[in-house]
Structure 1
Amino acid sequence: MPRAAFEICGESVPPGTRKTVDIPLGVMSNHTPMTLPVYVIHGRRDGPTLFVSAAIHGDEVQGVEIIRRLIQGKSLRGVRGTVLLIPIVNGYGFISHTRYLPDRRDLNRSFPGAPGGSLAGRLAHTFMTEIVRRSDVGLDLHTGALHRTNLPQIRADLEEGSCLGLAHAFGAPVILHSDLRDGSLRGAAQEAGVDVLLYEAGEALRFDEFAIRAGVKGVLGVMQHLGMITSKSGKTRKTKSVISRSSHWLRAAEGGIFRATKTIGDSVERGEIIGAIADPFGEADTEIIARATGIIIGRTNVPVVNQGDALFHIAKVFNAEKTGDRVGALEQELDDDPLFDDASLV
């Protein structure tokens, strides 16, 4: 018996076809319609429904490029099941290069939303209704905040559902256990019975090729794990992810000029000096000392800091040096992967 068409927002997508569906969100103040664009790939054969979303924070554009490469590549041909690709969730923030919506709310603290709520709440409700509740699994693509960069990493509640297996299938250098937050997409999705992984990599308003390639390869890895595509799309990843159950930020004890001697992906040992803060005249130098053994998964890119500013995000791991070596190995694997020889993916 032929597979039924996929129905979304009054549109019908027959099996074996692709279609962009624009879900209406309303009209902006200048009378311009705003939509939530969804690229639907509905396979001929049965399988799970996976959503991949980006730009919930409008200035986090790296996921947009990851989704673009997935759409333009060859790996999603012959998909089993259905893929919902949403490159720009927060179109309002994307247009204005900002994290937030015009009402200054954070969309990722507004789920599950309400049809008669704030602008953020209405968008969250639409996303939950049209995307999340139609899906079995979700991947939400993020970057660091403005002037902060993140090592490619998966954040998930590792105590829930199938998240750990999915996280290993994604294959980012680090898997970080992250409790669910009120108002987050992950939290609302889990209440709806949908496991969601959050991918963090790179910096807002910037592209990073390693982070993009790791994201593309990670999405395909999850799809292989779910049985949606075969493993012939690129090489099988040899480098395994490292699990961290906790992390912390090192903050500036004094204001001044920040100089880092370590960066993302580097291992650190407890008690190691990993940077310094000096006053503008060079008369005072405050050392930044790691208070735990681990790997740097995030850092500020701003050399001018005030007291209390976040400097390094460190994930605690047992064998930090070995973990740091894995980051370089993964970067080399992605450089050598024939998947990225395709001009449409580069």
Structure 2
Amino acid sequence: MARASFPIGSVRVRAGRSQKVELPMTRTVTGAETNLPVRVVHGREDGPVVWVSAAVHGDEVVGIEVVRRVLRGLDPKEFRGTLIAVPIVNVFGFMTGDRYLPDRRDLNRSFPGSPRGSLAARVAHLFMTEVVTPCEVGIDLHTAAHRRSNLPQVRADLDDPLTRRLARAFGAPVMLHAQLRDGSLRQAAREHGAKVLLYEGGEAMRFDEWAIAPAVAGVHRVLGELGMTAPGEDGPPVADSVELRSSGWVRARRSGIVQMECELGQEVTRGDRLGGLWDSFGRALAAVKADRDGVVIGRTEMPLVNAGDALVHIGTP
């Protein structure tokens, strides 16, 4: 018997097809309707239902390119299971190059949302209802915040056996055991029973190829690990990810101009020099030093800093 079609929004996607779907979100102040763009790859054979999403923060564009490349490499006639791809979740923020929505709310602190709440709550509710609810696994793609960069990494509950297996299959340089945050997509999806990998890599508003390529390969590996693609389609094996169990930021002791002397992925020990703070005439103000042993998984790209600003993110085993 042919596999049943997949319902989403007001349409049903037939088995063996890839179809774009527009999910109505709201009307703008001008009266124009704004939709959530989704593509469903509904394979001919049974298998898991998985979502991959990007741009929950509107300025995090790396994941948009990752989704595009992943979809380009999938044949729905040979695919097993169903993939729901959402390249731009925060459509409003993306259109203005802004991390947040017009109501200044962080969408990733607004889940599971509400059909009658704020704009952020309504977008979150729509995403939960139409995308997360039918899925067993999700991959949410992010970059660092404005004027920061992140080493390619997977953040997940590594104490859950299946999540850990999928994180290892993804093959990012680092996998970090990360606690759930209230209102996050990962927390809300977890409460629905989905296993979620959160990918971080690159900078906001930039197509960093060094962050895009590992994510494309990682998504394909996860699909292969779940049996949704044929062996070999998920790319060559990779070295084991470095497992980190916690992380923390080294912060500026003084206000000034920072010169960073560390690189993403660099292994550091407590007391290592990571950079220096200077005044506008070049007078040394303070050294930036590692406060723990670990791996540099993120850093500021902004040279002007105030006392207390986050400078270097270090993950520890």
TM bracket, shorter-chain basis? over 0.9
Pairing 1:248–2:248 present: yes
Aligned equivalent of 2:95: 95
Aligned equivalent of 2:191: 191
Distance 1:77 1:100 in 2: 38
The answer to which structure has the higher helix fraction is 1
Deviation per CA, 1:263-307: give whole Å up to 9, x if none: 111111111111110111222331111111111000000111111
Change (3 A) 1:287 1:157: same
Distance 1:305 1:246 in 2: 25
**SS state at 2:133 partner:** helix
Change (3 A) 1:75 1:217: farther
Aligned equivalent of 1:329: none
Distance 1:250 1:221 in 2: 33
The amino acid that maps onto 2:130 is E
List runs of 5+ in structure 2 lacking aligned partners.
Answer: none
Change (3 A) 1:235 1:12: closer
Whether contact under 8 Å (2:59, 2:205) holds in the other structure is yes
**SS state at 2:143 partner:** strand
The amino acid that maps onto 1:45 is E
Distance 1:246 1:74 in 2: 35
Pairing 1:281–2:310 present: no
Q: With structure 1 as the length reference, what TM-score do the two structures score?
A: 0.89
Distance 1:64 1:76 in 2: 20
Aligned equivalent of 1:306: 306
Aligned equivalent of 2:222: 222
Distance 1:76 1:8 in 2: 17
Aligned equivalent of 2:107: 107
Distance 2:69 2:79 in 1: 16
The amino acid that maps onto 1:223 is L
**SS state at 1:121 partner:** helix
Deviation per CA, 1:123-177: give whole Å up to 9, x if none: 1111000000011100000000110000000011222352111100111111111
**SS state at 2:159 partner:** coil
Aligned equivalent of 2:261: 261
Aligned equivalent of 2:65: 65
Aligned equivalent of 1:44: 44
Distance 2:213 2:77 in 1: 19
Change (3 A) 1:254 1:33: same
Aligned equivalent of 1:162: 162
**SS state at 1:127 partner:** helix
Distance 2:73 2:90 in 1: 24
Q: What is the CA-CA distance between 1:236 and the residue it aligns to?
A: 2.0
Q: What is the RMSD of the two structures over their aligned residues, measured on CA atoms? A: 1.2
Q: What is the CA-CA distance between 1:239 and the residue it aligns to?
A: 1.1
Distance 1:105 1:86 in 2: 20
Change (3 A) 1:91 1:174: same
Distance 1:276 1:97 in 2: 31
Distance 2:231 2:202 in 1: 27
Distance 1:241 1:187 in 2: 23
The amino acid that maps onto 2:279 is D
Q: What is the CA-CA distance between 1:209 and the residue it aligns to?
A: 0.6
Distance 2:17 2:245 in 1: 41
Change (3 A) 1:234 1:285: same
Whether contact under 8 Å (2:17, 2:76) holds in the other structure is no
Aligned equivalent of 1:333: none
Deviation per CA, 1:45-96: give whole Å up to 9, x if none: 0000010000000000100000011122357661100000000001000000
Moved more, 74-83 or 3-12: 74-83
**SS state at 2:167 partner:** helix
Distance 1:283 1:105 in 2: 40
Whether contact under 8 Å (1:161, 1:195) holds in the other structure is no
Q: With structure 2 as the length reference, what TM-score do the two structures score?
A: 0.97
**SS state at 1:66 partner:** helix
**SS state at 1:104 partner:** coil
Pairing 1:2–2:22 present: no
**SS state at 2:175 partner:** strand
Distance 1:262 1:100 in 2: 30
Distance 1:10 1:238 in 2: 41
Whether contact under 8 Å (1:156, 1:198) holds in the other structure is yes
The amino acid that maps onto 1:56 is V
Distance 1:235 1:97 in 2: 33
Aligned equivalent of 1:81: 81
State the identity as a percent: 51
Change (3 A) 1:238 1:71: closer
Aligned equivalent of 1:149: 149
The amino acid that maps onto 2:210 is F
Deviation per CA, 1:16-68: give whole Å up to 9, x if none: 01100000001111222111111000000000001000000000010000001
Distance 2:146 2:10 in 1: 38
